């Protein structure tokens, strides 16, 4: 399927939120059209009609699901539908979209697909809920976690779906696995001859800029399949367009182009944080309780690659980090870096599970006082640099998981060599600039 101007601009009226991104031959057209801007828009392809609506002071964001429903589910007409979702797939009044779709005779909903943590969100990191039936609707629920390629395509075929709908709240970091569930679902749908509809949601930490190192392919894994930056600054719908246009078309001649439709939001702007959207927050995973957690996550999750606790098992994971034996010197050294938008304060905590469970830990609490200035990736690098300098017990995980999280061995090697934050950031600057330029052609919002 090629990317036509009509596909890019979407449908008129309520359906103006739905745009079609093509793969293969359409990708260069997408880049060419990126030069066409809507009035007043700094970035992103041109859009028509309601798709360019922006939020006033009292206007909330309307998600892709709301736009789909407003159009009477026209994009799903005549299709046997399967939904990839979790507890975040809710309406503006906090009903789950699976319950809503199941009760609406205009939609033939036949299956649900659960990602990491499961459809109902009961599993911890690295886990899922398995396959079974949803007790609320009686629908079959298929576990997608750990499945990709032909194996996942076979699941879609066995489920008897024609169209796979994706609706999950992302948090804006490359190693948050839901975007790679989307990627895997798109590839599997292409293999199985299914269509994909992405119902877009906000990036809760904004989308003004990309930040951090870009993944190098030898380090690809389920926490980063393709070369995007650590903090990508994109929505799931924008990433879907990027995946189709840049990466999935390289999968080989045996793979059909992705038949993709993105149902866009209205009212969301790139500088928006989640608390400005007017939408209810549902934790996308057990250790992502608030939008403030998401703001810190792209940086402090890097501690997952060390023997330091990233705060799992506390009330404020990823905002509170440390280990048994750490003292005030770490917080003092981190705060002395003078990184913009954040203070690092000495803190003590006892995790109830995960690393250092049941033991008193010393460490650091991040206090973000200026969200616009705050760079979570630099903050995370600053914590790594200063932890190694101030705590004799600091160690990387033996499997060098930090390399998967950062996308190469460069951060680990440079921290071990005594490099500072700005020197490490300069090392990824050229690759980040390249990704930022590529990203421009797939942005859908001003």
Distance CA 43, CA 436 (A): 11
Distance CA 424, CA 211 (A): 13
**Residue given tokens 């995946």 in the structure block:** 243
Mean pLDDT, range 159-185, rounded to an integer: 97
Distant-in-sequence, close-in-space partners of 209: CB < 8 Å, separation ≥ 6:
233, 436
Residue pair 373/426 in contact by the 8 Å Cβ criterion: no
DSSP 245-257: IIIGGGS-TTSPP
Q: Where are the alpha helices (DSSP H) in 71-127?
A: 97-103
Cβ-count burial 118-148 (b if 16+ within 10 Å, e if not) = bbbbebeeeebbeeeebeebebbbbbbbebb
For residue 199, give both structure tokens: 């119902």
Number of residues written out for the chain: 446
Distant-in-sequence, close-in-space partners of 391: CB < 8 Å, separation ≥ 6:
323, 325, 326, 327, 329, 330
Distance CA 413, CA 266 (A): 43
- The pLDDT tens digits of the residues spanning 419-430 come to 999 999 999 999
φ, ψ of residue 150 to 5 degrees: the values are -65, -35
Looking at the predicted structure, is the pLDDT value of residue 364 above 90? yes
Q: What's the half-sphere exposure (Cβ side, CA atoms, 13 Å) at 331? A: 20
What stretch of H or E contains 18?
strand 18-21
Instruction: Indicate the pLDDT class of residue 255, thresholds 50, 70 and 90.
Output: low
For residue 429, give both structure tokens: 């600057």
Looking at the predicted structure, is the pLDDT value of residue 253 above 80? no
Cα angle at 218 between 216 and 219, to 5 degrees? 70
Position with higher pLDDT, 332 vs 15: 332
Distance CA 257, CA 245 (A): 10
pTM assigned to the model = 0.86
Looking at the predicted structure, is the pLDDT value of residue 334 above 70? yes
Average pLDDT, the chain: 86
Residue pair 382/337 in contact by the 8 Å Cβ criterion: yes
- The pLDDT tens digits of the residues spanning 138-167 come to 999 998 887 889 999 999 999 999 999 999
DSSP state of 414: H
- The pLDDT tens digits of the residues spanning 369-415 come to 999 999 999 999 999 999 999 999 999 999 999 999 999 999 999 99
By percentage, how much of the chain surpasses pLDDT 90?
78
**Residue given tokens 């679902």 in the structure block:** 185
φ, ψ of residue 27 to 5 degrees: the values are -60, -45
Position with higher pLDDT, 315 vs 24: 315
């Amino acid at each position: 399927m090629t990317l036509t101007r009509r596909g890019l601009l979407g449908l008129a009226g309520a359906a103006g939120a739905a745009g079609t991104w093509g793969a293969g031959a359409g990708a260069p057209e997408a880049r060419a059209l990126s030069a066409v801007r809507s009035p007043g828009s700094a970035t992103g392809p041109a859009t028509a009609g309601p798709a360019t609506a922006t939020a006033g002071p009292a206007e909330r964001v309307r998600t892709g699901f709301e736009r789909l429903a407003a159009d009477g589910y026209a994009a799903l007409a005549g299709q046997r539908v399967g939904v990839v979702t979790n507890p975040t797939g809710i309406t503006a009044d906090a009903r789950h979209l699976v319950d809503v779709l199941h009760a609406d005779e205009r939609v033939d909903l036949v299956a649900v697909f659960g990602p990491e943590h499961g459809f109902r969100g009961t599993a911890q990191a690295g886990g899922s809920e398995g396959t079974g039936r949803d007790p609320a609707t009686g629908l079959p629920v298929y576990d997608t976690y750990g499945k990709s390629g032909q194996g996942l395509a076979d699941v879609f075929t066995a489920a008897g779906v024609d169209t796979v709908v994706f609706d999950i709240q992302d948090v804006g970091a490359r190693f948050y696995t839901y975007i790679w569930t989307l990627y895997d679902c798109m590839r599997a749908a292409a293999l199985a001859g299914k269509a994909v509809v992405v119902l877009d949601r906000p990036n809760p930490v904004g989308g003004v800029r990309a930040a951090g190192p870009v993944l190098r392919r030898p380090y690809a894994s389920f926490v980063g399949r393709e070369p995007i930056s650590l903090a990508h600054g994109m929505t799931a719908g924008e990433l879907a367009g990027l995946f189709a246009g840049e990466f999935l078309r390289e999968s080989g001649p045996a793979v059909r182009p992705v038949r993709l439709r993105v149902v866009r939001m209205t009212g969301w702007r790139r500088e928006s944080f989640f608390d400005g959207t007017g939408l209810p927050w549902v934790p996308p995973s057990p250790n992502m309780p608030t939008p403030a957690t998401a703001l810190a996550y792209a940086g402090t999750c890097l501690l997952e690659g060390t023997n330091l606790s990233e705060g799992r098992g506390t009330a404020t994971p990823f905002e509170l980090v440390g280990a048994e034996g750490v003292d005030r010197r770490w917080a003092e050294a981190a705060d002395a870096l003078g990184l913009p938008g954040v203070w690092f304060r000495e803190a003590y905590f006892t995790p109830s599970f995960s690393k250092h469970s049941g033991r008193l830990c010393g460490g650091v609490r991040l206090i973000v006082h200026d969200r616009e200035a705050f760079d979570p990736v630099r903050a995370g690098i600053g914590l790594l640099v200063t932890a190694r300098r101030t705590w004799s017990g600091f160690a990387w995980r033996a499997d060098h998981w930090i390399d998967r999280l950062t996308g190469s061995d460069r951060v680990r090697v440079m921290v071990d060599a005594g490099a500072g934050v700005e020197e490490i950031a300069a090392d990824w600057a050229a690759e980040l600039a390249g990704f930022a330029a590529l990203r421009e052609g797939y942005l859908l919002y001003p």
